[in-house]
Amino acid sequence: MYLKTLTLKGFKSFASATTMRLEPGITCVVGPNGSGKSNVVDALAWVMGEQGAKSLRGGKMEDVIFAGTAGRPPLGRAEVSLTIDNTDGALPIDYTEVTITRTMFRGGGSEYAINGTNCRLLDVQELLSDSGLGREMHVIVGQGQLDTVLRATPEERRGFIEEAAGVLKHRRRKERALRKLETMEANLTRVQDLTGEIR
């Protein structure tokens, strides 16, 4: 599995559609200060479902949409597509190539698609979680982030290990199932109350 192409359109400083083709092995992005190198990394995190504006170096989620320059008006939407080579089947999906797309409209939420079919954020997270490209983004080590790992509490460190080992996905599924169970129990109590009143 490797990242094959990344296309940005209206994302941060990338107003026009820009596609980067990556090869297996090491890719370096070089450029002057402020030319948008970190924006490329932000786009990778964003398309994989990043939900924190701060992690994307912004104040609010909408800050990822091209805000305009002296010569170009702001855009109404940001779109990033990431194509992953899956010939080794590392992603649990029957395609040798997987394209994840995330779109955000100014004033609206995000839309996700896998190979052109609309899906939920959860579907993207589940698709990526077994491959190591999980929600917690241990694959992206930002500036100053090593410090965070070194200063992490034992509980936080356990979280990193669980994410890397793929345990976190099952923990989240368990939490979701327990929440559903709680709702069902509340509904059951309500039904029992009503039955009691009717009798």
User: What residues are designated binding site for ATP?
Assistant: 32-39
Helix ranges (DSSP H) in the chain: 37-47, 121-129, 145-150, 154-165, 167-198
Q: Which long-range contacts (CB under 8 A, 24 or more apart) does 157-164 make?
A: 160/136, 163/134, 163/135, 163/136, 163/138, 164/132, 164/134, 164/138
Residue 139 as a binder of ligand ATP (CB under 6 A): the answer is no
Query: Of the listed pieces 26-34, 103-111, 148-156, 162-170, which binds ligand ATP according to CB under 6 A?
Result: 26-34
Residue 39 as a binder of ligand ATP (CB under 6 A): the answer is yes
Which contiguous run of DSSP H or E holds residue 154? helix 154-165
Residue 31 as a binder of ligand ATP (CB under 6 A): the answer is yes
Which contiguous run of DSSP H or E holds residue 77? strand 77-85
Residues binding ligand ATP: what is the number (CB under 6 A)? 14
- Per-position x/- string for 45-64, each x denoting binding to ligand ATP as judged by CB under 6 A, each - no binding: ------------------x-
Indicate which single residue of 1, 5, 18, 38 sits in contact with ligand ATP (rule: CB under 6 A). 38
Task: Catalog residues that contact ligand ATP under the rule CB under 6 A.
Answer: 12-13, 31, 33-39, 63, 65-67
